[in-house]
Chain A
Amino acid sequence: MKGRTFIAFVGPSLFLMLLFIAAPLVSVLWQSFEVTQQVFETVEVETCTPGFPEQTCVTETRSRPVLMESGLPLTETRFVGLESYRNVLEPERAAAALRNGNIGELLNIDFWKALRFTLTFTLITLPLILGVGLVLALAVNNAVRSIRGPVIFVSLLPFIITPVIGALSIRWLFVGDGIMTAFLEWWLQQDIAMFAQGWTIEILMLFYRVWHVAPFAFVIFYAALQTLNMDTMESAIIDGASRFERLRYVIVPHLMPLIIFVSLIHLMDAYRVFEEVIGFRSEAHVISLQWLTYDFLTPDDSGNRSISRASASSMLTMIGIVILLIPLLMRTWRDHRGSS
């Protein structure tokens, strides 16, 4: 392709990526080094609120933001360097916990608690999704032609459901005396409370994510199976390769680039796990890194929010994803170099 044609095709997308991805990222990076504060003054304020039978008025000392002439609050922005990162990571406390060899203490710090869950969640769901996706693809590929259509349709359904809605449905099935809990209680003849402790919630979350994303892996793998070289397959059969050997030495190598592709996408998605925390209301037991950012960013009733810590936390999330992706990216790069 000519250089100019190439630019003409890639240019618009490059421009949009710079505008909507790179520029916001730079601004978030910048914000994570700064803190914008309102300037407060301490005043005596008398507040009157409904009482019974008459109003009650209280006078108290209170901090109130200073308003400028224009009626806008006076704010000042300071460069704070890595302070917001320190506030998120709490390195001194983490180091002290590690020195004592007390993991429980480390996991009491929000960031490390979130990191622990995010990592286990990502790394446990990855092989499960690849495995379930592959098994589904092989099963459908070997199924009778007439039922393939319906089977593909049904297996794709979980992927179509909006993630939060899916998570909520699972919650409703299991919370309190939900249908599934009631069934389990009847079956096992004991009282079950799925949302009373962390590990049961985590199992539900893992189950939900695998159920939700496995169809994606399945579709990709199934498509790839259609391009499998039948000659190689037949020679493998003639050479006496068993089913497992055929899978190990013919099918999986054929699918390898796509397995890496699915893994890349899944690692990026799973590291940003969020819907499960909201849907399952698991904040008391498990939180994720993305939820932490969201929590910093959500204003409380009085309108406070921590933009700086939210920025720091989202930069840390991004760094985490990059670290996770490095091995896969390096492999892709090697393959690419090898093939060209």
Chain B
Amino acid sequence: MKPLAKAVLAAVLLFVPSAASSACEFDNEVPVKSISAGFEAWKAVTAAMAECGNFEAELDQEFRKKQPAAFAATPSLYQIGGVANSTIVPLLNEGTIRPLDDLVAKYGQNLTSNQLIKVDGQVMSIAMMVNAQHLMYRKDILDDLGIAPPKSYDEMLAAAEKIKQAGVVDYPIGATMKTGWNVGMEFVNMFLGMGGEFFTDGVQPNVNNETGIKALNMMKALTEYMDPEFLVSDSTYVQQQFQQNKIAMANLWASRAGAMDDEAESQVVGKIEMAAAPAAVPGGKPATTIWWDGIVIAKNISDEEADAAFRVAMEGLDSDMVQANSDIAVWLIKGYQPGRLAVGAIESLQGGAPSFPASTAMGLMHTALGNNVADFLTGAKTAEQALADVEAEYTTSAKETGLF
């Protein structure tokens, strides 16, 4: 029998050794463990937490599959959890994280109000950074051809046509359209940007309509200017396409911006500029969604442990950490000086891009989109068919989950 693929693909596991040092303001006596995603920002934050001693971090890109079960155990297997607006949903649903109001009052003097994620008036999570897909473009190429940075997708298509004519890069546009979560995400951005509403009455699907078809058609129009293998291209692939001088524009995650100026990997250091995500309709809001990452504290642990965990977390999210790592994320923490690379995310926020509307229903919708949008892009289905299938798949899952 062969070992399951999952185990191998699973992820990068990294255990940060706990070593007490002087950078932390107190000596932590209570053992604290955390589980979170493994990207750069989390590495920086958990490394700063480790300075308090007695701390162990598990950084795992597949954390979302473990976290709900680990937090449901009594006592919880981890005291601190790293979440984003979607991954906090199962924890809220199962009631496995605790309200943080009293801890914020006790130890949260340095937090800004923007960091307090509130659900029904209670602080449930402390946000540390925001992330969003926004426009990255090759300033040198656009300047040479006399193109202004596109503000809408129509302008992006026009720009792509000119770049294609000029033949300066292999493909004018790159996009994270890997089948599944990524391509689903692209549709969510486009659909919301066109003013779509995913649900009526909170749970009834509402994508098989004019807006849905327009969103799909815009995605298809964009793919004409992409590498034909766009259905396997994820964030890393698009990042590499930029770094290797193969594409000129893409709507890519803010957390990838730092890599563009990494001299060890990139052939285009300093040539890539950031801007708000293009609008889906001329003059509209940037067609993207805002994501935040933050920490939560488990409910099934003693108050003493929660106290220690929160203090350790505050050490990880302090100004010292931000000043040492200001280029790797768009931080929400005091003392953060946004640099050139953060412009795109901030402009998208200013432009009024909505927060990703995470919920149980949205999770099901995202999966259904991820599984069906590709069939339209490959030409296997018409737009109406694909959207009807999205709604059918969503309905089946929603019935099974108990939403209906």
Report which A residues bind B (CB closer than 8 A): 35, 37-40, 42, 45-58, 60-65, 67, 71-73, 76, 84, 87, 104, 108, 110, 162-165, 175-176, 193-198, 269, 274-275, 278-279, 281, 283-285, 294-295, 298-304, 306, 308-309
Asked whether, in the complex, the Cβ of A162 is within 8 Å of the Cβ of B400, the reply is no
Q: Knowing that A62-B359, A194-B229 are A-B contacts, what are 8 other residue pairs whose CB atoms are under 8 Å apart, sorted by A's residue number?
A: A46-B119, A47-B117, A50-B290, A63-B202, A65-B93, A284-B232, A284-B377, A302-B358
Contacts of A35 in B (CB 8 A): 400
Q: Mark B323-365, 1 if CB is under 8 A from A, else 0.
A: 0000000001000000000000010011000010011111110
Asked whether, in the complex, the Cβ of A300 is within 8 Å of the Cβ of B68, the reply is no
A308 CA to B396 CA in the complex, in Å? 12
A45 CA to B389 CA in the complex, in Å? 30
Asked whether, in the complex, the Cβ of A274 is within 8 Å of the Cβ of B5, the reply is yes
Q: Does chain A have a CB within 8 A of B89?
A: yes
A88 CA to B4 CA in the complex, in Å? 23
Asked whether, in the complex, the Cβ of A302 is within 8 Å of the Cβ of B113, the reply is no
A46 CA to B371 CA in the complex, in Å? 31
Report which B residues bind A (CB closer than 8 A): 2-6, 8-9, 64-65, 68, 72, 84-87, 89-90, 93-96, 113-121, 127, 130, 178-181, 201-203, 227-229, 231-232, 237, 290, 292, 299, 332, 346, 349-350, 355, 358-364, 366-367, 371, 374-375, 377-378, 380-381, 385, 389, 396-397, 400-403
Closest Cβ of chain A to B343, distance in Å, is 12
Asked whether, in the complex, the Cβ of A309 is within 8 Å of the Cβ of B400, the reply is yes
26 contacts between A and B (CB under 8 A): A38-B93, A40-B403, A45-B119, A49-B117, A51-B114, A51-B290, A52-B350, A54-B113, A67-B94, A73-B94, A104-B380, A163-B5, A164-B9, A274-B4, A275-B2, A279-B5, A281-B179, A283-B371, A283-B374, A300-B367, A301-B64, A301-B87, A301-B366, A303-B94, A303-B360, A306-B401
Contacts of A301 in B (CB 8 A): 64, 84, 86-87, 89, 181, 358, 363, 366
Contacts of B403 in A (CB 8 A): 40, 63
Contacts of A56 in B (CB 8 A): 355
Asked whether, in the complex, the Cβ of B3 is within 8 Å of the Cβ of A308, the reply is no
Knowing A63-B403, A301-B87, A302-B360, the reply to whether A50 touches B114 (Cβ < 8 A) is yes
Asked whether, in the complex, the Cβ of B402 is within 8 Å of the Cβ of A37, the reply is yes
Contacts of B363 in A (CB 8 A): 300-304
Asked whether, in the complex, the Cβ of A50 is within 8 Å of the Cβ of B332, the reply is yes
Number of residue pairs spanning A and B whose beta carbons lie under 8 angstroms apart:
195
Query: Which of B290, B359, B367, B385 is packed against the most chain A CB atoms within 10 Å?
Result: B367
Closest Cβ of chain B to A114, distance in Å, is 12
- Chain A residue with minimal CB distance to B229? A195
- Chain A residue with minimal CB distance to B68? A303
In order of increasing CB-CB distance, the 4 nearest A-B pairs are A302-B363, A303-B90, A37-B402, A301-B86
Closest Cβ of chain A to B118, distance in Å, is 4
Contacts of B90 in A (CB 8 A): 299, 302-303
Asked whether, in the complex, the Cβ of A51 is within 8 Å of the Cβ of B349, the reply is yes
Closest Cβ of chain A to B376, distance in Å, is 11
Asked whether, in the complex, the Cβ of A175 is within 8 Å of the Cβ of B229, the reply is yes
Asked whether, in the complex, the Cβ of B202 is within 8 Å of the Cβ of A62, the reply is yes
A38 CA to B364 CA in the complex, in Å? 14
A172 CA to B87 CA in the complex, in Å? 31
Closest Cβ of chain A to B278, distance in Å, is 18
Asked whether, in the complex, the Cβ of A303 is within 8 Å of the Cβ of B93, the reply is yes
Asked whether, in the complex, the Cβ of A284 is within 8 Å of the Cβ of B119, the reply is no
Asked whether, in the complex, the Cβ of A73 is within 8 Å of the Cβ of B375, the reply is no
Knowing A72-B95, A176-B227, A284-B374, the reply to whether A46 touches B120 (Cβ < 8 A) is yes
Asked whether, in the complex, the Cβ of B359 is within 8 Å of the Cβ of A303, the reply is no
Contacts of A299 in B (CB 8 A): 64-65, 68, 90
Closest Cβ of chain A to B257, distance in Å, is 17
- Chain B residue with minimal CB distance to A65? B93
Closest Cβ of chain B to A185, distance in Å, is 12
A162 CA to B181 CA in the complex, in Å? 26
Contacts of A61 in B (CB 8 A): 201-202
Asked whether, in the complex, the Cβ of B179 is within 8 Å of the Cβ of A37, the reply is no
Closest Cβ of chain A to B89, distance in Å, is 4
Asked whether, in the complex, the Cβ of B93 is within 8 Å of the Cβ of A71, the reply is no
Asked whether, in the complex, the Cβ of B65 is within 8 Å of the Cβ of A298, the reply is yes
Asked whether, in the complex, the Cβ of A49 is within 8 Å of the Cβ of B231, the reply is no
A55 CA to B4 CA in the complex, in Å? 44
A218 CA to B179 CA in the complex, in Å? 37
- Chain B residue with minimal CB distance to A52? B349
Asked whether, in the complex, the Cβ of A108 is within 8 Å of the Cβ of B375, the reply is yes
Asked whether, in the complex, the Cβ of B401 is within 8 Å of the Cβ of A304, the reply is yes
Contacts of A38 in B (CB 8 A): 93, 401-402
Asked whether, in the complex, the Cβ of B93 is within 8 Å of the Cβ of A306, the reply is no
A165 CA to B130 CA in the complex, in Å? 34
Asked whether, in the complex, the Cβ of A302 is within 8 Å of the Cβ of B359, the reply is yes
